[in-house]
Structure formats: structure tokens, C-alpha cells
């Protein structure tokens, strides 16, 4: 089920959807992001892919493939030119270049470093090969340098000296020509990247499909590089915007690792409570308990939380008006593989050679509500997109019920803004000397970058090995969405911090109030419920462990201490 809050009128500002173009820019500016996106989405044909709010996965993945192909072509060409320079240049020139490269690489590396999220480990073989090749090249440079130093001390005839000078002049010419070509390749790559981020991915001109007129010459030639190599995988991700999911179906999330709600960011103060069901004092003594079903409770909670968005003053920008709800079926990839031949597993994985189903029908949801499994569970989700989708607050609710007890589990999640480095494309000038200066820096530190360039040029991405007759869980479960690969670990400013607090508290308060009223309407005592609810809503609760008093469980620290605010973002 997936619905959005509806109210009369439309006084909430439209969400500006910049996430897709920011991630397209990130694919060309951040090699690690592009490779991680390809490895997560395109290499494993059996992997479950989570949805990302406001992200056109097809457009981002096509840019990631184009960026990776462009880098492989660039580094293959410059490596050939590097071999020419290595054999033609003198040892003094190579030694001096290597010294300058070390100094520049250390300086720029420290300045450009910024935190990145944990991602799947890339293959190590290309990196090892690049390191070996670089060590061989370094010994060759040292050998030439020592040979030249020894030759300078050796007496030789004028005729022999002339021959040596003629040979050195020829090598110098070849070296200069190769270095000029090398710089031209590096400059072309920087200029193309600059045109992409300042023209193709600007808000006014951004297109996910090829238009009739290009914004600059050969734009789509560069944006289409390598697509044929991933044609089959890319076909699963059209560039057209995804429509709303079928309200009668539940989205399937197959996760690998610890985080079950992949695509929703980090957990923010989850809690649970176990409520004994006792008749109230004024209830009929012979009335059966609990007197309600879980589907009835879910629908009551959902209808009341949707009404939260009726007032524009309750949420900045009237964002609660766009509250989305839906059903989620969450599955552990490890347990899915462990139960791969069970009838329940065939519902979400009918073909072991393909990815799990993206959604399941209402009958599956009803069955999981009544009889949840350890490895496959149902949640009702509530999602608020705010700050032009820079911050997304999601909450997942599930219940358990028998004749004597009601179990409630509430897990809010926060999807933080995209890293500020990726959002800078909107402030970069179209006309600038920066591509030239960046190419000069690339040339100066080129010898120090040889291991990485070699790894890029010869690197490959193979699916995870799976022996015949076995099934590897990592091939089916997702660890990150596209949005999470580029997101930071904190909010940008104080207002975003307080808005996260606001939305979580508002939804929690409405949930608890509705739940209390529902139980009371069914003739169930709410005395203990009110005691436990007070602990959830109290601003003074400071939680230091996994369990606090009574039957309420929670994790983390005090609520306002679990979301950090970044400093110095741009």
C-alpha cells in the first residue's frame, strides 16, 4: 500500500528535485562513487535494488558507466605515453619530476580528502598490479639516473661525446612531445568534466535523455560512453521517471548486513514496547480480548497519521502534507539463501538466477502480519521528504498480537543530505581557468598517480564468485542505495536538525495518542500504556544502553544527540 496525504488546496511549495543531477555530477567527479554505483547495481544481476527518494537510478547509472569508461580510456592513453617518456627521457628529468610529484600529491591529497561512507570492497588485483608496475618503473628511473651520474665522470673522446649529445637531444624531443600529448589528454578530460557539471547538469539544461539539440559539441558522445558494455543491465533501469508504486502491493527490501531499511539512511532512536491487554474497569467483564485484528489497527494508525499534515503551521513548508505511507516486506539475504528452497522464499525469489521481486501482493502482506517469520517481516512505512529532498525522514512500524499482549516496534530513519562536495556544481562558473590549473596539477603529480591510473586502466568488475550448487547471500542483498553512497553522515544546519526532531516527535506523538484511543475504544486498560508512552515522549530521557525501564526497548543516546550538524559546509 502506498498513499499520500490529501488535503484541500495546495499551499505547500513544490519539492525541487535536484538529487538526480547532483548524483550524475558525482559520477563524473568522484571515481569511487561511480565505481561503487556500478558494482552495487549493475555487476550483480541477482541483487535486490532499493528505491532512493527523488533519484532516477537509470540516469545516474548511465552517467556512472560513461564516467568509468572515459577514465579507463584516459588512463590507458596516458599510460602508453608514460612508457614513451620513461624510455626516452633522461634520468635527471624523471627523477626531478618524481620529486615534484611527491610534494604536489601530498599537498593536494590532504586538501581534497573528505569522509566517505563504507562501501563494498573493490578487487585488489588491479591495485596490486599497478603498485608492482610502479615499483618496476621507479627502479628503472633510479637505474637511469645512476647510469647518467656515472657517465658524467667517465672521460670519453670528443667524437663519442657528440654521439651521446645527439642521442640525448633526440630523446629530449620525444620526451617533450609525449609530455605535451599527456598534458593534452589530461586537459581534455578536465574540460569535458567541467562542461558536464557546468552545462549538462545545471538545473536549467539537465536532461536524462538525449534532446534534439546538444548543449555543447559531442555532449552525448561522452555521456553515452560504455553503455553497450552494460546494455542488458542498464535496460532494467529506464531513464524515464519512476511512477508511483501500485497501492495494493508492498515493496520488497532484501538487505545484506546489519541495516534492514536500505535506502532510508541511518536509524534514529528506535523503540519498542510490550503492552499487556487487560480489560478496563468500565468494560464488560465477559467481553473477549483483544477485540480487534492487526489489519484494523494498521489502518486506524495510518489514517490518523496521514491527517497530521492537514495544518500548514505544524511543519515548515507544509511538508507533512506530502506524508507517504506504504507496506514493506523486509528480508535478510543471508536467511533468504538459507531458506532458498522453501515455499516462502519462492514468493520473493521465483528464479534463483534473477533478482528478487520488487513487490508482493496484499495476500503476502496479510500472511506476514498474522504470522511473521524470523527472516521475513512486514512493516508499515511513513515517509516525509523535506528540504527539497535533502533530508528524508522515514519511520517503520510493526505490531505483534495475541490474546494477552500487544507488541509495538517503531524505527525512525534519517536520510542525510548529499555531500556538499557534490552540490558545488551549481556554483561553479561556466567560464573558468580551473580545468587548466587542475590539468597542470595532474601533470605535476602524474608519476605519483601511476598506481591508481594503472588500476583504473586494467581494472575489471566481475560478479561475486558462486560455486555451482551454492548461493552467496551478498549477490542478492543490497547494502546501500545510490543516494546513501553519496550522502554525508550529518545534517547541514540547525534547522535541519530541529526539523528531524520535529517530524519524528510529531509522528510518534500522533502514533501513541491514536494507539491509546484505539485500545480504549476496545475496552482495554491503557494505564500501563500511558506509563510506557511517557518514557518515549519525555524530553528528559537519556538512554545509555539497549534497554530502559519497563518493557520499552531503545538504542542510542539522548534524542538530540544522535544527529550531528556539520560545520563549514558550502
Q: 540: burial class by Cβ within 10 Å (0-12, 13-18, 19+)?
A: exposed
CB 505 within 8 A of CB 272: no
Say whether pLDDT at 170 is over 90: no
- Nearest to residue 425, comparing CAs of 114, 209, 194? 194
d(CA 80, CA 440): 19
pLDDT > 60? residue 565: no
Query: Taking all residues of the chain, what is their mean pLDDT, rounded to a whole number?
Result: 83
Span of 30-34, 360-364, 377-381, 541-545 with lowest mean pLDDT: 541-545
Q: Which has the higher per-residue pLDDT, 149 or 255?
A: 255
Q: Is the N-terminal amide bond of 150 cis, ω within 30° of 0? A: no
Query: What's this model's pTM, rounded to 2 decimal places?
Result: 0.84
Mean pLDDT of 234-250: 76
Give the pLDDT score at 566: 55
According to DSSP, residue 524 is labeled B
Cα gap 414→286, rounded to integer Å: 45
pLDDT tens per residue, range 297-353? 999 999 999 999 888 888 898 999 999 999 999 999 999 999 999 999 999 999 988
Task: Extract the runs of DSSP E, i.e. beta strands, from 268-390.
Answer: 271-276, 324-332, 359-360, 376-386
Amino acid at each position: 500500500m502506498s498513499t499520500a496525504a490529501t488535503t484541500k488546496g495546495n499551499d505547500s511549495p513544490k519539492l525541487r528535485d535536484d538529487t538526480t543531477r547532483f548524483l550524475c555530477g558525482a559520477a563524473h567527479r568522484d571515481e569511487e562513487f561511480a565505481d561503487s554505483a556500478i558494482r552495487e547495481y549493475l555487476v550483480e544481476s541477482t541483487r535486490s535494488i532499493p528505491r532512493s527518494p527523488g533519484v532516477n537510478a537509470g540516469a545516474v547509472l548511465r552517467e556512472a558507466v560513461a564516467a568509468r569508461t572515459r577514465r579507463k580510456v584516459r588512463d590507458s592513453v596516458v599510460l602508453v605515453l608514460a612508457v614513451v617518456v620513461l624510455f626516452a627521457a633522461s634520468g635527471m628529468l624523471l627523477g626531478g619530476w618524481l620529486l615534484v610529484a611527491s610534494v604536489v600529491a601530498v599537498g593536494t591529497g590532504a586538501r581534497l580528502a573528505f569522509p566517505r561512507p563504507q562501501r563494498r570492497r573493490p578487487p585488489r588485483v588491479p591495485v596490486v598490479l599497478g603498485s608492482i608496475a610502479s615499483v618496476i618503473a621507479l627502479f628503472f628511473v633510479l637505474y637511469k639516473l645512476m647510469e647518467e651520474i656515472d657517465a658524467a665522470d667517465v672521460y670519453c673522446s670528443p667524437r663519442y661525446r657528440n654521439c651521446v649529445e645527439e642521442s640525448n637531444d633526440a630523446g629530449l624531443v620525444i620526451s617533450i612531445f609525449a609530455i605535451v600529448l599527456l598534458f593534452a589528454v589530461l586537459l581534455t578530460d578536465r574540460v569535458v568534466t567541467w562542461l558536464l557539471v557546468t552545462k549538462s547538469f545545471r538545473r536549467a539544461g539537465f536532461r536524462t535523455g538525449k534532446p534534439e539539440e546538444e548543449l555543447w559539441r559531442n555532449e552525448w558522445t561522452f555521456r553515452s560512453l560504455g553503455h553497450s558494455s552494460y546494455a542488458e543491465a542498464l535496460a532494467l533501469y529506464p531513464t524515464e521517471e519512476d511512477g508511483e508504486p501500485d497501492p495494493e502491493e508492498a515493496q520488497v527490501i532484501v538487505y545484506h548486513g546489519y541495516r534492514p531499511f536500505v535506502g532510508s539512511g541511518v536509524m534514529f532512536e528506535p523503540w519498542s514496547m510490550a503492552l499487556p491487554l487487560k480489560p478496563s474497569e468500565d468494560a464488560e467483564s465477559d467481553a473477549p480480548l483483544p477485540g480487534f485484528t492487526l489489519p484494523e489497527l494498521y489502518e486506524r494508525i495510518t489514517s490518523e497519521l496521514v491527517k497530521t499534515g492537514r495544518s500548514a503551521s505544524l511543519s515548515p513548508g507544509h511538508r507533512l502534507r506530502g506524508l507517504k505511507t506504504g507496506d514493506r516486506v523486509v528480508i535478510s539475504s543471508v536467511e533468504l539463501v538459507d531458506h532458498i528452497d522453501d515455499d516462502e522464499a519462492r514468493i520473493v525469489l521465483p528464479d534463483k538466477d534473477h533478482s528478487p521481486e520488487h513487490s508482493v501482493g496484499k495476500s503476502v502482506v496479510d500472511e506476514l502480519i498474522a504470522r511473521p517469520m524470523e527472516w521475513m517481516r512486514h512493516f508499515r512505512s511513513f515517509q516525509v521528504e523535506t528540504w527539497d529532498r535533502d533530508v528524508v525522514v522515514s519511520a517503520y512500524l510493526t505490531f505483534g498480537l495475541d490474546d494477552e499482549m500487544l507488541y509495538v516496534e517503531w524505527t525512525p530513519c534519517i536520510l542525510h543530505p548529499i555531500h556538499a562536495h557534490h552540490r558545488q556544481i551549481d556554483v561553479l562558473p561556466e567560464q573558468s581557468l580551473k580545468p587548466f590549473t587542475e590539468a597542470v596539477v595532474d601533470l605535476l603529480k602524474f608519476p605519483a598517480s601511476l598506481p591508481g591510473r594503472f588500476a583504473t586502466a586494467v581494472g575489471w568488475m566481475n560478479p561475486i564468485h558462486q560455486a555451482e550448487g551454492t548461493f552467496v547471500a551478498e549477490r542478492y542483498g543490497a547494502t546501500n542505495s545510490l543516494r546513501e553512497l553519496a550522502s554525508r553522515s550529518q545534517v547541514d544546519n540547525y534547522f535541519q536538525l530541529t526539523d528531524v526532531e520535529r517530524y519524528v516527535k510529531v509522528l510518534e506523538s500522533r502514533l501513541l495518542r491514536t494507539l491509546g484511543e484505539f485500545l480504549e475504544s476496545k475496552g482495554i486498560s491503557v494505564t500501563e500504556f500511558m506509563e510506557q508512552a511517557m518514557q518515549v515522549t519525555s524530553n528528559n530521557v537519556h538512554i545509555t544502553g539497549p534497554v530502559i525501564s519497563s518493557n520499552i526497548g531503545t538504542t542510542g543516546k539522548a534524542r538530540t544527540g544522535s544527529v550531528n550538524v556539520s560545520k563549514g559546509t558550502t
